[in-house]
């Protein structure tokens, strides 16, 4: 496991702030020692959470080409048939994964193929499980065309805490299942929109592991 490059500015600022607060507390605050120790432990705990947020686990996708793997860690919060109005303009099967601030926030390609579409949308910061977050929040849409099963759309959606979506996909670039295509800072969600013919392999409330859990399958 290593730390994600997107965390460098945040981690540098957090380290400097932690050092300043600890120095100021122990140097200038006339508090009892037990209170200073408690403050130190609390600050170190918050710092550890920030560091862990940017962790990047070592994972390898070993699913077959008929599988769609989870693009993110988290919990399945929606499985439904919806009308996709940005790209397909038709009915699709939606699988939505909510990522809490404690989840890994790396995003992985759910299928292999070629990137056929990318668009970033500025927007609001509603809580990620809000019904309108898919259309009103800051988000990035990526479509990958599989050589045998057609196109799959997946959308990174900012949440109430997220303030930056990082997407590395660009039209024409190759996509390999289980490789990184983006990162979202703090709480957020990822929607996957599948053809209606795809069979969903997860249930509502199920916790999934990005790159590893098969969330759907295409017909062979």
Tokens 């390898």 found at: 60
Q: What percent of the chain lies above the pLDDT cut of 90?
A: 63
Instruction: With cut-offs at 50, 70 and 90, classify the pLDDT of residue 1.
Output: confident
Residue 61 lies in a domain: no
188 φ/ψ angles, rounded to the nearest 5 degrees: -170, -170
Q: Minimal CA–CA distance to 209: which of 107, 77, 64?
A: 107
Total domain count, the chain:
2
* Given 96, 188, 197, 220, the catalytic residue: 188
Tokens 């990958």 found at: 144
Q: Are residues 71 and 50 in the same domain?
A: no
Instruction: With cut-offs at 50, 70 and 90, classify the pLDDT of residue 124.
Output: low
Q: Are residues 135 and 181 in the same domain?
A: yes
Q: How far is CA 88 from CA 106, 119, 133, 150, in A?
A: 26, 14, 19, 12
Q: Are residues 82 and 102 in the same domain?
A: yes
Which DSSP symbol is given to 100?
Answer: -
- The pLDDT of residue 132 is 56
- The pLDDT of residue 12 is 93
d(CA 98, CA 103): 9
Q: Which domain holds residue 89?
A: 67-217
CATH code, domain carrying 209: 2.70.70.10
Q: Are residues 129 and 175 in the same domain?
A: yes
Residue 16 exposed, middle or buried by CB count within 10 Å (0-12, 13-18, 19+): exposed
Computed over every residue of the chain, the mean pLDDT equals: 89
- The pLDDT of residue 130 is 56
Catalytic residue status for 188: yes
Residue 80 lies in a domain: yes
Q: Are residues 125 and 178 in the same domain?
A: yes
Residue 62 lies in a domain: no
Residue 74 lies in a domain: yes
Instruction: With cut-offs at 50, 70 and 90, classify the pLDDT of residue 4.
Output: confident
Q: How far is CA 59 from CA 157, 172, 212, in A?
A: 23, 25, 8
Q: Are residues 18 and 90 in the same domain?
A: no
Q: Are residues 27 and 115 in the same domain?
A: no
Instruction: With cut-offs at 50, 70 and 90, classify the pLDDT of residue 127.
Output: low
- The pLDDT of residue 126 is 62
pLDDT tens for 31-55 read 899 999 999 999 999 999 888 888 8
Q: Are residues 181 and 73 in the same domain?
A: yes
> pLDDT at residue 163 above 80?
no
Q: Minimal CA–CA distance to 191: which of 91, 69, 96, 82?
A: 96
Q: What angle do CA 68, 216, 212 make, to 5 degrees?
A: 50
Q: Which residue has the higher pLDDT, 2 or 128?
A: 2
- The pLDDT of residue 220 is 72
pTM: 0.85
Residue 138 lies in a domain: yes
């Amino acid at each position: 496991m290593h730390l994600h490059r997107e965390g460098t500015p945040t981690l540098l600022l957090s380290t400097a702030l932690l050092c300043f607060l600890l120095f100021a507390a122990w140097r200038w605050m006339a508090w009892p020692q037990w209170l200073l120790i408690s403050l130190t432990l609390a600050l170190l705990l918050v710092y550890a959470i920030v560091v862990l947020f940017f962790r990047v686990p070592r994972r390898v996708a070993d699913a077959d080409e008929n599988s769609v793997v989870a693009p993110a860690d988290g919990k399945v919060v929606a499985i439904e048939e919806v009308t996709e109005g940005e790209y397909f303009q038709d009915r699709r099967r939606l699988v939505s994964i909510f990522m809490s601030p404690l989840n890994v926030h790396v995003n992985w390609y759910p299928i292999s193929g070629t990137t056929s579409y990318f668009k970033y949308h500025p927007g609001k910061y509603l809580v990620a499980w809000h019904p309108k977050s898919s259309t009103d929040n800051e988000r990035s849409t990526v479509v990958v065309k599989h050589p045998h099963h057609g196109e799959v759309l997946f959308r990174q959606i900012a949440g109430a805490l997220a303030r930056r979506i990082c997407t590395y996909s660009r039209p024409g670039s190759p996509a390999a299942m289980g490789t990184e295509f983006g990162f979202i800072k703090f709480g957020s969600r990822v929607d996957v929109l599948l053809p209606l013919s795809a069979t969903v392999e997860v249930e509502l409330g199920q916790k999934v592991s990005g790159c590893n859990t098969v969330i759907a399958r295409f017909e062979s």
